[in-house]
Amino acid sequence: MPSGGEVGPPRKGFSLGESELAFSANVDHLFRANARFSLAEDDGQGVVEVEEVNVETLGLPGGLKVKGGRFLSGVGYLNQQHPHEWDFSDAPLAYKAFFGYRLQNDGVQVRWVAPTDLFLEFGAEMAAGEKYPGAERNRNGAGLWTAFAHLGGDFGVSSAWQVGLSHVGAQPRERAFEDNAVTNAFSGRSQTWIADFVYKWAPDGNSRDRYLKIQGEYIQRRETGTLTYDVDNLSGASAASASRLRQSGSYLQAVYQFMPRWRVGVRGDWLQSGSVNLGSLSTAELPILAGYNPTRHTAMVDWSPSEFSRLRLQLARDKSRDGEADNQVWLQYIMSLGAHGAHKF
Protein backbone atom coordinates (compact mmCIF):
# COMPACT_ATOMS: atom_id res chain seq x y z
CA MET A 1 0.00 0.00 0.00
CA PRO A 2 1.30 3.49 -0.73
CA SER A 3 3.18 4.97 2.21
CA GLY A 4 2.29 8.53 1.24
CA GLY A 5 5.86 9.67 1.79
CA GLU A 6 8.69 10.93 -0.36
CA VAL A 7 9.05 7.88 -2.58
CA GLY A 8 9.86 9.26 -6.04
CA PRO A 9 13.04 10.83 -7.37
CA PRO A 10 13.20 14.62 -7.63
CA ARG A 11 12.17 16.36 -10.83
CA LYS A 12 14.60 16.58 -13.72
CA GLY A 13 16.92 19.56 -14.02
CA PHE A 14 18.12 21.89 -11.30
CA SER A 15 16.31 21.90 -7.97
CA LEU A 16 16.91 22.81 -4.37
CA GLY A 17 16.72 19.84 -2.07
CA GLU A 18 15.92 19.84 1.60
CA SER A 19 17.46 22.54 3.80
CA GLU A 20 17.59 21.99 7.54
CA LEU A 21 17.80 24.43 10.42
CA ALA A 22 18.93 22.78 13.66
CA PHE A 23 19.18 23.95 17.28
CA SER A 24 20.47 21.98 20.24
CA ALA A 25 21.58 23.00 23.74
CA ASN A 26 21.48 21.97 27.37
CA VAL A 27 18.51 23.52 29.16
CA ASP A 28 20.07 22.93 32.57
CA HIS A 29 21.82 20.11 34.41
CA LEU A 30 18.82 17.80 33.94
CA PHE A 31 17.57 18.34 30.38
CA ARG A 32 18.74 18.92 26.82
CA ALA A 33 16.50 20.35 24.10
CA ASN A 34 16.74 19.67 20.36
CA ALA A 35 14.88 21.20 17.42
CA ARG A 36 15.24 20.63 13.68
CA PHE A 37 13.16 22.21 10.93
CA SER A 38 13.09 21.24 7.27
CA LEU A 39 12.63 23.87 4.57
CA ALA A 40 11.55 22.54 1.18
CA GLU A 41 9.33 23.22 -1.81
CA ASP A 42 6.10 21.40 -2.63
CA ASP A 43 4.23 22.24 -5.86
CA GLY A 44 5.96 25.62 -6.02
CA GLN A 45 5.09 26.52 -2.44
CA GLY A 46 7.57 26.87 0.41
CA VAL A 47 6.98 24.31 3.16
CA VAL A 48 8.38 24.26 6.69
CA GLU A 49 8.19 20.90 8.47
CA VAL A 50 8.91 20.28 12.13
CA GLU A 51 11.19 17.26 11.90
CA GLU A 52 12.26 17.09 15.53
CA VAL A 53 11.43 19.06 18.66
CA ASN A 54 12.15 17.16 21.83
CA VAL A 55 13.63 17.18 25.31
CA GLU A 56 15.92 14.44 26.60
CA THR A 57 17.26 13.73 30.05
CA LEU A 58 20.86 14.20 31.15
CA GLY A 59 22.59 12.03 33.71
CA LEU A 60 19.89 9.57 34.69
CA PRO A 61 21.45 6.74 36.70
CA GLY A 62 22.11 3.26 35.36
CA GLY A 63 22.55 4.18 31.70
CA LEU A 64 18.94 5.30 31.22
CA LYS A 65 17.78 8.09 28.92
CA VAL A 66 14.25 9.37 28.29
CA LYS A 67 13.22 11.51 25.34
CA GLY A 68 9.85 13.15 24.78
CA GLY A 69 8.34 15.15 21.92
CA ARG A 70 8.85 14.61 18.20
CA PHE A 71 11.87 12.52 17.25
CA LEU A 72 13.19 10.06 14.68
CA SER A 73 12.54 6.53 15.86
CA GLY A 74 15.48 4.48 17.09
CA VAL A 75 14.48 1.42 15.04
CA GLY A 76 16.82 0.09 12.37
CA TYR A 77 20.13 1.70 11.48
CA LEU A 78 19.46 4.37 8.87
CA ASN A 79 16.23 5.72 10.34
CA GLN A 80 17.91 8.05 12.85
CA GLN A 81 20.17 9.64 10.25
CA HIS A 82 19.27 12.88 8.50
CA PRO A 83 19.67 13.14 4.70
CA HIS A 84 22.97 15.02 4.92
CA GLU A 85 24.42 11.99 6.77
CA TRP A 86 23.43 9.46 4.11
CA ASP A 87 26.09 7.86 1.94
CA PHE A 88 23.78 8.16 -1.08
CA SER A 89 21.57 10.96 -2.35
CA ASP A 90 18.29 9.21 -1.56
CA ALA A 91 16.83 6.71 0.89
CA PRO A 92 16.72 2.97 0.14
CA LEU A 93 13.56 1.65 -1.53
CA ALA A 94 12.65 -0.35 1.59
CA TYR A 95 12.55 2.78 3.75
CA LYS A 96 10.45 4.61 1.15
CA ALA A 97 7.97 1.74 0.88
CA PHE A 98 7.63 0.86 4.55
CA PHE A 99 8.01 4.27 6.24
CA GLY A 100 7.65 6.94 3.56
CA TYR A 101 11.46 7.23 3.87
CA ARG A 102 11.69 7.29 7.68
CA LEU A 103 9.66 6.65 10.83
CA GLN A 104 8.97 9.82 12.82
CA ASN A 105 7.22 9.70 16.18
CA ASP A 106 5.33 12.06 18.48
CA GLY A 107 5.64 10.39 21.84
CA VAL A 108 8.11 9.08 24.41
CA GLN A 109 11.29 7.06 24.00
CA VAL A 110 13.23 5.16 26.66
CA ARG A 111 16.77 3.82 26.10
CA TRP A 112 19.05 1.79 28.32
CA VAL A 113 22.75 1.09 27.68
CA ALA A 114 23.99 -1.91 29.65
CA PRO A 115 27.24 -1.64 31.67
CA THR A 116 28.99 -4.32 29.59
CA ASP A 117 32.23 -4.49 27.60
CA LEU A 118 30.22 -4.91 24.39
CA PHE A 119 27.88 -2.11 23.40
CA LEU A 120 24.40 -3.34 24.35
CA GLU A 121 21.39 -1.04 24.02
CA PHE A 122 17.67 -1.64 24.51
CA GLY A 123 14.93 0.84 23.69
CA ALA A 124 11.17 1.24 23.46
CA GLU A 125 8.83 3.94 22.18
CA MET A 126 5.17 4.79 22.61
CA ALA A 127 3.79 7.27 20.10
CA ALA A 128 0.67 8.73 18.52
CA GLY A 129 1.20 6.71 15.34
CA GLU A 130 -0.60 9.13 13.04
CA LYS A 131 1.83 8.58 10.16
CA TYR A 132 2.29 5.49 8.02
CA PRO A 133 2.15 2.61 8.92
CA GLY A 134 -0.31 4.10 11.39
CA ALA A 135 -3.15 6.46 10.50
CA GLU A 136 -4.67 9.72 11.67
CA ARG A 137 -6.52 9.29 14.93
CA ASN A 138 -8.55 11.36 17.35
CA ARG A 139 -8.55 9.34 20.52
CA ASN A 140 -6.60 8.93 23.74
CA GLY A 141 -3.69 6.56 24.08
CA ALA A 142 -0.95 5.42 21.75
CA GLY A 143 -1.35 4.18 18.19
CA LEU A 144 2.20 2.89 17.63
CA TRP A 145 4.77 1.05 19.72
CA THR A 146 8.35 0.10 18.99
CA ALA A 147 11.06 -1.99 20.62
CA PHE A 148 14.67 -2.28 19.50
CA ALA A 149 18.02 -3.68 20.57
CA HIS A 150 21.55 -3.06 19.29
CA LEU A 151 24.73 -5.01 20.00
CA GLY A 152 28.20 -3.92 18.90
CA GLY A 153 31.90 -4.29 19.50
CA ASP A 154 35.36 -4.40 17.95
CA PHE A 155 37.44 -6.93 16.05
CA GLY A 156 40.98 -6.01 17.03
CA VAL A 157 42.04 -2.39 16.50
CA SER A 158 40.93 -2.04 12.86
CA SER A 159 37.34 -3.32 12.75
CA ALA A 160 34.06 -2.50 14.46
CA TRP A 161 30.57 -3.93 14.05
CA GLN A 162 26.98 -3.50 15.16
CA VAL A 163 23.82 -5.56 14.68
CA GLY A 164 20.26 -4.71 15.58
CA LEU A 165 16.70 -6.04 15.71
CA SER A 166 13.62 -3.81 15.86
CA HIS A 167 9.84 -4.19 15.93
CA VAL A 168 7.16 -1.62 15.04
CA GLY A 169 3.54 -2.31 15.95
CA ALA A 170 0.60 -0.15 14.90
CA GLN A 171 -3.19 -0.39 14.78
CA PRO A 172 -4.31 1.85 11.89
CA ARG A 173 -7.98 2.72 11.57
CA GLU A 174 -9.31 3.75 8.13
CA ARG A 175 -5.82 4.24 6.71
CA ALA A 176 -6.77 5.56 3.28
CA PHE A 177 -4.99 5.21 -0.07
CA GLU A 178 -5.98 5.86 -3.66
CA ASP A 179 -5.92 3.21 -6.36
CA ASN A 180 -7.61 2.96 -9.75
CA ALA A 181 -9.31 6.37 -9.25
CA VAL A 182 -11.07 5.34 -6.01
CA THR A 183 -10.24 5.68 -2.31
CA ASN A 184 -9.73 2.53 -0.27
CA ALA A 185 -8.98 2.05 3.43
CA PHE A 186 -7.31 -0.50 5.69
CA SER A 187 -8.07 -1.10 9.36
CA GLY A 188 -6.32 -3.69 11.48
CA ARG A 189 -2.95 -4.65 12.85
CA SER A 190 0.43 -3.81 11.34
CA GLN A 191 3.70 -5.39 12.46
CA THR A 192 7.11 -4.54 11.03
CA TRP A 193 10.40 -6.28 11.80
CA ILE A 194 13.81 -4.80 10.97
CA ALA A 195 17.17 -6.60 11.09
CA ASP A 196 20.22 -4.39 10.51
CA PHE A 197 24.00 -4.64 10.56
CA VAL A 198 27.02 -2.42 9.91
CA TYR A 199 30.70 -3.29 9.66
CA LYS A 200 33.49 -0.70 9.60
CA TRP A 201 37.17 -1.19 8.86
CA ALA A 202 40.02 1.32 9.04
CA PRO A 203 43.76 0.58 9.32
CA ASP A 204 44.66 0.74 13.02
CA GLY A 205 41.35 2.48 13.64
CA ASN A 206 42.43 5.60 11.72
CA SER A 207 39.59 6.43 9.30
CA ARG A 208 41.12 9.71 8.14
CA ASP A 209 42.94 8.17 5.17
CA ARG A 210 41.13 4.93 4.36
CA TYR A 211 38.07 3.07 5.57
CA LEU A 212 35.43 0.60 4.44
CA LYS A 213 31.82 0.57 5.62
CA ILE A 214 29.36 -2.19 4.76
CA GLN A 215 25.76 -1.96 5.93
CA GLY A 216 22.44 -3.57 5.19
CA GLU A 217 18.91 -3.93 6.49
CA TYR A 218 16.05 -6.36 5.96
CA ILE A 219 12.48 -5.23 6.62
CA GLN A 220 9.36 -7.38 6.72
CA ARG A 221 5.80 -6.22 7.32
CA ARG A 222 2.71 -8.26 8.11
CA GLU A 223 -0.73 -6.66 8.18
CA THR A 224 -4.01 -8.33 9.11
CA GLY A 225 -7.38 -6.65 9.14
CA THR A 226 -10.22 -5.36 6.97
CA LEU A 227 -9.69 -3.79 3.56
CA THR A 228 -12.52 -1.61 2.24
CA TYR A 229 -12.72 -1.02 -1.49
CA ASP A 230 -14.14 2.34 -2.65
CA VAL A 231 -15.09 3.80 0.73
CA ASP A 232 -16.97 6.65 -0.99
CA ASN A 233 -18.94 4.20 -3.17
CA LEU A 234 -18.18 6.19 -6.31
CA SER A 235 -18.26 3.02 -8.39
CA GLY A 236 -21.47 1.76 -6.80
CA ALA A 237 -19.66 -1.39 -5.74
CA SER A 238 -18.15 -0.60 -2.34
CA ALA A 239 -17.08 -3.74 -0.50
CA ALA A 240 -15.10 -4.82 2.54
CA SER A 241 -13.17 -8.01 3.10
CA ALA A 242 -10.76 -9.57 5.55
CA SER A 243 -7.21 -9.31 4.24
CA ARG A 244 -3.72 -10.51 5.05
CA LEU A 245 -0.61 -8.97 3.51
CA ARG A 246 3.08 -9.75 3.93
CA GLN A 247 5.81 -7.83 2.09
CA SER A 248 9.55 -7.43 2.57
CA GLY A 249 12.43 -5.32 1.37
CA SER A 250 16.16 -4.96 1.82
CA TYR A 251 19.25 -3.07 0.79
CA LEU A 252 22.97 -3.75 0.93
CA GLN A 253 25.63 -1.11 0.41
CA ALA A 254 29.38 -0.64 0.66
CA VAL A 255 31.34 2.63 0.81
CA TYR A 256 35.12 2.77 0.49
CA GLN A 257 37.30 5.80 1.13
CA PHE A 258 40.34 4.96 -0.98
CA MET A 259 42.26 8.16 -0.23
CA PRO A 260 41.69 11.20 1.97
CA ARG A 261 38.46 13.03 1.05
CA TRP A 262 37.50 10.66 -1.80
CA ARG A 263 34.94 7.84 -1.53
CA VAL A 264 33.17 5.41 -3.84
CA GLY A 265 30.10 3.36 -3.06
CA VAL A 266 27.61 0.85 -4.45
CA ARG A 267 24.12 -0.07 -3.27
CA GLY A 268 21.50 -2.63 -4.22
CA ASP A 269 17.79 -2.26 -3.35
CA TRP A 270 15.10 -4.93 -3.50
CA LEU A 271 11.40 -5.09 -2.65
CA GLN A 272 9.32 -8.27 -2.61
CA SER A 273 5.54 -8.04 -2.96
CA GLY A 274 5.24 -11.30 -1.01
CA SER A 275 1.82 -12.79 -0.28
CA VAL A 276 -1.46 -10.89 -0.53
CA ASN A 277 -4.76 -12.45 0.54
CA LEU A 278 -7.60 -10.04 -0.22
CA GLY A 279 -10.45 -12.39 0.64
CA SER A 280 -13.48 -11.57 -1.51
CA LEU A 281 -11.63 -8.69 -3.21
CA SER A 282 -9.12 -9.09 -6.03
CA THR A 283 -6.18 -7.28 -7.59
CA ALA A 284 -8.49 -6.39 -10.50
CA GLU A 285 -10.18 -3.98 -8.09
CA LEU A 286 -6.91 -3.13 -6.32
CA PRO A 287 -4.24 -3.25 -9.05
CA ILE A 288 -1.69 -1.49 -6.87
CA LEU A 289 -1.53 -4.67 -4.75
CA ALA A 290 -0.68 -6.91 -7.71
CA GLY A 291 2.61 -8.79 -7.53
CA TYR A 292 5.73 -6.81 -8.44
CA ASN A 293 9.32 -6.89 -7.18
CA PRO A 294 11.05 -3.52 -7.68
CA THR A 295 14.84 -3.27 -7.84
CA ARG A 296 17.43 -0.53 -8.07
CA HIS A 297 21.22 -0.49 -8.39
CA THR A 298 23.25 2.61 -7.53
CA ALA A 299 26.87 3.74 -7.68
CA MET A 300 28.38 6.97 -6.39
CA VAL A 301 31.63 8.86 -5.97
CA ASP A 302 31.98 11.86 -3.67
CA TRP A 303 34.61 14.37 -2.56
CA SER A 304 34.63 16.05 0.84
CA PRO A 305 37.03 19.02 1.13
CA SER A 306 36.18 19.14 4.85
CA GLU A 307 33.66 17.73 7.31
CA PHE A 308 31.35 20.63 6.38
CA SER A 309 31.05 20.11 2.61
CA ARG A 310 30.57 17.29 0.13
CA LEU A 311 30.13 17.04 -3.66
CA ARG A 312 28.63 13.83 -5.07
CA LEU A 313 28.02 12.17 -8.44
CA GLN A 314 25.51 9.33 -8.33
CA LEU A 315 24.27 6.96 -11.05
CA ALA A 316 21.29 4.63 -10.69
CA ARG A 317 19.40 2.06 -12.71
CA ASP A 318 15.93 2.27 -11.15
CA LYS A 319 13.26 -0.36 -11.84
CA SER A 320 10.96 0.57 -8.97
CA ARG A 321 8.07 1.64 -11.23
CA ASP A 322 6.13 -1.26 -12.72
CA GLY A 323 7.09 -1.82 -16.33
CA GLU A 324 9.50 1.13 -16.53
CA ALA A 325 13.23 1.60 -16.01
CA ASP A 326 14.90 4.92 -15.19
CA ASN A 327 18.53 5.79 -15.76
CA GLN A 328 19.26 8.48 -13.19
CA VAL A 329 22.19 10.86 -12.82
CA TRP A 330 22.53 13.02 -9.71
CA LEU A 331 24.90 15.90 -9.08
CA GLN A 332 24.53 16.91 -5.47
CA TYR A 333 26.12 19.33 -3.02
CA ILE A 334 25.81 19.14 0.77
CA MET A 335 26.90 22.05 2.96
CA SER A 336 26.81 22.34 6.75
CA LEU A 337 27.10 25.70 8.48
CA GLY A 338 28.02 26.10 12.15
CA ALA A 339 28.93 23.64 14.85
CA HIS A 340 27.21 20.27 14.88
CA GLY A 341 27.45 17.11 16.91
CA ALA A 342 29.28 13.97 15.84
CA HIS A 343 27.39 11.59 13.57
CA LYS A 344 26.15 8.30 14.99
CA PHE A 345 28.14 5.08 14.59
- Which residues fall within 8 angstroms of residue 13, CB to CB, at 6 or more apart? none
Cβ atoms of residues 197 and 216 within 8 Å: yes
One-letter identity of residue 106: D
**pLDDT of the residue at 108:** 97
Q: What's the structural domain count of the chain?
A: 1
**pLDDT of the residue at 44:** 75
Domain-embedded: residue 47: no
* CATH number, residue 232: 2.40.160
Q: Residue-wise pLDDT tens for the chain (345 aa)?
A: 888 887 887 788 998 888 999 999 999 999 999 999 999 887 778 889 999 999 999 989 999 999 999 999 999 999 999 999 999 999 999 999 999 989 999 999 999 999 999 999 999 999 999 989 999 887 888 899 999 999 999 999 999 999 999 999 999 999 999 988 889 999 999 999 999 999 999 999 888 899 999 999 999 999 999 999 989 888 778 899 999 999 999 999 999 999 999 999 999 999 999 989 999 888 888 888 888 999 999 999 999 999 899 999 999 999 988 878 899 999 999 999 988 777 778
The span from the CA of 175 to the CA of 136, in Å, is 7
Domain-embedded: residue 112: yes
DSSP 93: H
- What's the domain range around 177? 61-335
Domain-embedded: residue 344: no
Q: Is the dihedral of CA 166, 267, 95, 160 positive or negative?
A: positive
- Which residues fall within 8 angstroms of residue 338, CB to CB, at 6 or more apart? none
- Which residues fall within 8 angstroms of residue 154, CB to CB, at 6 or more apart? 160, 161
**pLDDT of the residue at 73:** 96
Domain-embedded: residue 29: no
Domain-embedded: residue 268: yes
Beta bridge partners of 159: 155, 201
Domain-embedded: residue 70: yes
The helix/strand/coil state of 339 is coil
Domain-embedded: residue 32: no
Domain-embedded: residue 302: yes
